[in-house]
Structure 1
Amino acid sequence: MNLRDEIETTLRTWHAYETGRGSVAVIDFDCAPTTTPTEPADSRLAVYQRLTDLRARTAEAGADRLTARLTADLAYLGALLGEHRPLNDYVQATQGCPAAGWQDGYITHRGEQARHALDTLGIAWGPDTARELNAVEGPIETDEAPDAIRQAAADYEPAVRQITGSQAPFNLTVETAEVDAYWAYWLDGAGDKVRLRLNLRRASFTKVAARQFALHEVLGHGLQSASWSARAATKDVPWVRLMSVHAPQQVLLEGLAQALPLFIAPDDELLATRTKFDHYNQLVRAELHIALNQGAGIAELADHARFRMPWIRDAAIADLLTDRGANPQLRSYLWAYPAGIDWFANLAEADKPTRTRVLQAAYRDPLTPSELEALWPAGPTIGGQGT
Structure 2
Amino acid sequence: MTNVRDEVEAVLRAWDAYEVKRGGDPVIDFDLLPGGPDPEPAADRLGVYRRLAELRGDAEGPVRERVDADLAYLGALLGERPPLDEYVRATQGCGAVGWSPEYVEERRRVAVAALAEVGVAWGPEANAELRRVEGLLDVADAPDAIRGAVAELEPAVRELTGSDAPYRLTVETAEVEAYWAFWLDGAGRDVRLRLNLPNVEFTRAGARQFALHEVLGHGLQSASLHARAADAPWVRLLSVHALQQVMLEGLAQAWPLFVTPDDAVLAARIRLDHYVQLVRARAHLDINAGTPVLDVAGRMRAAVPWWGDDRVAAQLADRGANPLLRSYLWAYPAGVDWFVSLAEKGGEATGNVLRTAYREPLTPAGLAALWPEGPRIGG
Q: TM-score, normalised by structure 1?
A: 0.96
> For residues 336 and 351 of structure 1, do their structure 2 counterparts lie closer, same or farther at Cα, with a shift above 3 Å needed?
closer
1:131 equivalent to 2:131? Answer no
Output aligned runs, 1:144-155, within 5 Å: 144-155=141-152
1:305 equivalent to 2:267? Answer no
1:138-192 per-residue CA deviation (whole Å, 9 max, x = no partner) reads 1111111122112111110000000000010001111111111110000000000
Where does residue 92 of structure 1 map in the other structure? 89
Q: CA deviation at 1:98?
A: 0.2
Where does residue 350 of structure 1 map in the other structure? 345
1:287 to 282, 291, 300: 282
Output aligned runs, 1:25-36, within 5 Å: 25-36=26-37
1:162 to 159, 162, 180: 159
Where does residue 229 of structure 1 map in the other structure? 226
SS at match of 1:189: strand
1:244 equivalent to 2:239? Answer yes
Give the RMSD, CA atoms, in angstroms. Answer: 0.8
The one-letter code matched in structure 2 to 1:32 is L
Where does residue 320 of structure 1 map in the other structure? 315
Q: TM-score, normalised by structure 2?
A: 0.99
The one-letter code matched in structure 2 to 1:372 is L
Structure 1 range deviating more: 141-150 or 66-75: 141-150
1:184 to 173, 181, 187: 181
> For residues 81 and 351 of structure 1, do their structure 2 counterparts lie closer, same or farther at Cα, with a shift above 3 Å needed?
closer
1:203 to 187, 200, 216: 200
Distance in structure 2 (CA, Å) of the matches to 1:350 and 1:161: 22
Distance in structure 2 (CA, Å) of the matches to 1:273 and 1:375: 28
1:30-83 per-residue CA deviation (whole Å, 9 max, x = no partner) reads 00001312101010000000010111111xxxx211111001000000011111
SS at match of 2:185: strand
The one-letter code matched in structure 1 to 2:78 is L
Distance in structure 2 (CA, Å) of the matches to 1:70 and 1:290: 25
Aligned pair count reads: 378
2:356 to 334, 349, 361: 361
Where does residue 16 of structure 2 map in the other structure? 15
SS at match of 2:348: helix
Distance in structure 1 (CA, Å) of the matches to 2:235 and 2:151: 30
Distance in structure 2 (CA, Å) of the matches to 1:372 and 1:121: 33
1:94-149 per-residue CA deviation (whole Å, 9 max, x = no partner) reads 00000000000000000000001111222111111111111111111111112211
SS at match of 2:27: coil
The one-letter code matched in structure 2 to 1:7 is V
> Runs (4+) of structure 1 moved beyond 2 Å?
350-353
Where does residue 48 of structure 1 map in the other structure? 49
The one-letter code matched in structure 1 to 2:371 is W
Distance in structure 1 (CA, Å) of the matches to 2:109 and 2:80: 39
Distance in structure 2 (CA, Å) of the matches to 1:372 and 1:47: 30
Where does residue 67 of structure 2 map in the other structure? 70
Distance in structure 1 (CA, Å) of the matches to 2:301 and 2:119: 22
Q: CA deviation at 1:351?
A: 4.6
The answer to whether the Cα contact below 8 Å between 2:117 and 2:264 also exists between their aligned partners in 1 is no
Query: Once the two structures are aligned, what percentage of the paired residues are identical?
Result: 60
The one-letter code matched in structure 2 to 1:371 is G
Distance in structure 2 (CA, Å) of the matches to 1:102 and 1:354: 24
SS at match of 1:66: helix
Distance in structure 1 (CA, Å) of the matches to 2:225 and 2:38: 23
1:296-347 per-residue CA deviation (whole Å, 9 max, x = no partner) reads 1111011100111111111110010000000000000000000000000000
1:101 equivalent to 2:98? Answer yes
SS at match of 2:170: strand
Where does residue 113 of structure 1 map in the other structure? 110
The one-letter code matched in structure 2 to 1:380 is P
SS at match of 1:232: coil
SS at match of 1:201: helix
Distance in structure 2 (CA, Å) of the matches to 1:227 and 1:351: 23
Where does residue 57 of structure 1 map in the other structure? 58
